[in-house]
Structure 1
Amino acid sequence: MPGMEINRSLFILVLVGLTIVVAITLNSGNPQGGPVSGTGTLTGNVSIGPLCPVEPCAVSHDRLVAAYAARPITISTAGGTVVSSVTADPETGYTVALKPGTYVVDIPHQEIGGSRELPKTVAILNGETVRLNITVDTGIR
């Protein structure tokens, strides 16, 4: 039937057009449109100390690395779901790529010492870097 061929062609044309419009909307970066994509970066330095009860303090590199390993940095959603955990390097700190969103940064809480800066809420935006330096007081005196 000739009329059906025209309706089928019109339907396919409308379907292709609608698909193109949806694809453009989802990839436009419009905050009201499609899902959030890309990543941002959380980075910083970590200082832990004192590591000896008396200064000057001579600590082996292995002991220094162990002090950092005992205090991994956790990055969680506001609801408490851990999305990343990283151990800072004594010389270079830490860097984590995260999807855009709001996160809570923390370290394990121990009986003595800790960090006055943590927990800390940070907002990560696509393509941006947030610097959060962390100072940890070991409580050693």
Structure 2
Amino acid sequence: GTWTAAPMDRTKIYVIGATEVGKTALIARYTSNDFPSEYVPTIEHTYRKKVVLDNKDITMDIVDTGGLEELSTGIVKEMYIQNETMLQECYMFCFALDNKSSFEYLSRILAQITKIKKTSACNIPVIVVGCKSD
């Protein structure tokens, strides 16, 4: 289906992927035009960005989830997956272009999310981003 931010004025984006694929660098570049010079492991951090979409002010809460290897073992942080009725939510799946296994890992993440949400993959708004093209 088609995903739109309307009529909500707030949305939550969970940025998910394996460790060291570039999630934090991507978020920092987008939210503050900064680029981290060294790798520092992220546990979890939420960034806020205001944008205008279709002439509406939208507040995005962007959740940097850190590396989630535990997803592949079935230990899922359900707070990333449970539906929050107050917010529209979507997922940004990140992988490293120089790491094929980080891309293959995304299918396991999607399977976990569909299982917990009890829906099919086509009902979950997902953006897939390849990082580390530099």
TM range (shorter): under 0.3
Which structure carries more helix by proportion? 2
> When the two structures are superposed, what TM-score results if normalisation uses the length of structure 1?
0.24
> When the two structures are superposed, what TM-score results if normalisation uses the length of structure 2?
0.25
- The structure whose Rg is larger is 1
